[in-house]
């Protein structure tokens, strides 16, 4: 997936699981454009993960083995926490 194809990345953020949508969509909407190209690529790699894995990682029931994905999960959690609740 091309990091510049914002519409496609946004579509990939929609998971159909409320807990994931609440975590991933606000991060995409508020933070994606500020990420470096390398972090955008890591974010896209994260989106290629299976929903059960993403859910576990976002809910702190485990973490990715890949250090880059682990860093991205923590970044998403940190930025979402700093921003606070977002109306969905």
Q: Which residue has the tokens 């890949």?
A: 66
**Average pLDDT of span 6-33:** 92
| Tokens, residue 54 | 């993403």
The domain locations on the chain are 6-83
Q: Give the contacts of 2 (CB within 8 A, at least 6 positions apart).
A: 8
CA angle 30, 32, 48 (to 5 degrees): 125
Residue 85 has pLDDT above 80, yes or no: no
Cα dist from 20 to 16, 26, 36, 37, whole Å: 8, 10, 23, 23
Instruction: Return phi, psi of residue 24, to 5°.
Output: -85, -45
Query: What's the chain's average pLDDT?
Result: 92
CATH for 6-83, options being 1.10.30.50, 3.30.470.10, 2.102.10.10, 1.10.150.250: 1.10.150.250
Cα gap 64→29, rounded to integer Å: 23
Q: Binning pLDDT at 50, 70 and 90, where does residue 83 land?
A: confident
């Amino acid at each position: 997936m091309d990091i510049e194809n914002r519409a496609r990345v946004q579509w990939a953020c929609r998971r159909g699981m409320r807990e994931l949508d609440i975590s991933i969509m606000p991060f995409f909407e508020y933070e994606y454009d500020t990420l470096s190209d390398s972090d955008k690529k890591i974010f896209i790699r994260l989106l290629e993960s299976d929903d059960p894995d993403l859910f576990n990682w976002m809910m702190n029931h485990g973490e990715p083995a890949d250090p880059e994905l682990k860093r991205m999960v923590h970044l998403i959690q940190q930025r979402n926490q700093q921003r606070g609740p977002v109306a969905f």
